[in-house]
A = this chain, B = another copy of it.
Amino acid sequence: MVQPLDVRATWLVSRAHRRGHALLSEAFAEAGSRPYRYRLLAALAEHGPVSQAQLGRLTGIDRSDVTAALDALSAGRFAVRRPDPTDGRRNLVAITDAGRVELDRLELVLDGVQDRFLAPLSVAERRRFLDMAARLGG
């Protein structure tokens, strides 16, 4: 009554994630960045200046890891931390112009990855897959 290893949903999703993640980090590394940095830049561009804790909630990255990744983004002048005048505990983090340029560059890299990742599916399938994957991740 043993099911073969390779029909379980968690297994298949794990394999798909592995392939996607490999494509992604390879492409980002080649572009001189990393998934965490892209995620943070994208969240900053989408939501404007926010606190680091809020950034963590938006991206699913742990607070302590947000700190480290922001150190890298600040060093590259892609983001700036300023103290929040209305709340002394918080930093307000904003994307810079250079950060937007960097983000645009990374978006292109990311789009290329999506195409390669989704290549095995037809366009109609992609739409349905994305819908179902979104529900499974929620």
Contact = CB atoms under 8 A, between A and B. Distances in A.
A12 interface: yes
Interface of A: 1-10, 12-21, 23-24, 39, 42-43, 45-46, 58-60, 103-104, 107, 110, 113-114, 117-118, 120-121, 125-126, 128-130, 132-138
Q: Which applies to chain A's interface (DSSP): helix, strand, loop or mixed?
A: helix
Contact of A60 (B15, B16, B59, B129): B15
Nearest to A18: B137
Contact of A136 (B4, B58, B110, B121): B121
A76 to B, nearest CB: 18
B137 A121 contact: no
